[in-house]
Amino acid sequence: MGVKASERLRTTLCGIALKNPVLAASGTFAYGVEFEKILDLNAMGGFVVKGLSREPMDGNPPPRVWEAEAGMMNSIGLQNIGVRAFVAEKLPALRKFDTAVFANVFGYAMEDYTEVVRVLEDHEGLAGYELNVSCPNTKHGGIFFSSDAGLLGELVAAVKKVAKRPVIVKLSPNVTKIEPLALAAEQAGADAVSLVNTLVSLAIDIRTRKPRLGAGFGGLSGPAIKPVALRMVCEAARAVKIPVIGLGGIGSGEDAAEFLIAGASAVEVGTATFWDPCSPLRIAGELDQFLREEKIGNVRELVGTLDWKR
């Protein structure tokens, strides 16, 4: 009798049991409950809710999304209902699902992050946290948490003092070298890192000579950034011992397999959900088919198996 699909895909992340290693990424899956009638949330490996801040945020002026040649640009501006509204209105509904739910957390000062996590710690229903560190620290002259290893380490250490659940740090690709940032997160106590976030980008309307997005610059995601994301995931996985979660342009099971081979223990699917809301489940199914064809008993056997020899 062959290995069942559920056994092939079953894995763990930071001690959390996952039905499969394919999660829906933050910012592309709303608060999760909105997808309840579209796909079986209980069959998912997990999902990350959109970023939560201390207070509600309206986000950036429109237009907020632009379809690029091989992906998508967005400048949503981290619009969200705020952490207190989330625990009151969204989290109770999420508790009924048998899947790992992670809260994405962001802020513009360290106390923003710690306060959001402190509020979330008082409520059941979450598996862990993912810190979006691609924000400028307004108390440090606008230095981005994601680009300064020392600042990043301080932030992670501060959050770890408050958090009892696992803490994942979502790293930005807008840096010269990813390894020092991944190492800083690990040394400060991060339980895992996820990468990459979007690439800073610009699209221009040549008729009006104005930016395509209301805020000017935006974040590029989708297939266009996959080779960059794959390289950075590989570099990070070789630099740290904690789990790495890969994301950036994943639209098929084969894409997911590439990230796993590069060293990721799990993956997140983002932009693909805009054109296929069921893509996390489809990609997990395609990944399982690949494992079956390759006679691989469990997905963990694929992780970090990149062969550099020619």
Q: Active-site positions?
A: 135
State the virtual CA torsion across 27, 284, 235, 17 in degrees, nearest 10.
90
Cis amide leading into 63 (omega within 30): yes
Structure tokens at 182: 């991944």
3-state secondary structure of 215: coil
- HEC profile for 251-306? CCHHHHHHHHHHCCCEEEECCHHHHCCCHHHHHHHHHHHHHHHCCCCCHHHHCCCC
Dist. CA 43–CA 25, nearest whole Å? 16
Both tokens assigned to 247: 């994301």
Q: What is the DSSP string of 146-174?
A: GG-HHHHHHHHHHHHHH-SS-EEEE--S-
* Cα–Cα distance for residue pair 242/265, rounded to 1 Å: 10
DSSP 195: E
Nearest CA to 137 out of 151, 119, 118, 124 is that of 151
Q: Considering only CA atoms, which of 166, 165, 127, 172 is closest in space to residue 151?
A: 172
b/e code 66-103 from CB counts within 10 Å (16+ = b): bebeebbbbbbebebbbbeebbeebbeebeebebbbbb
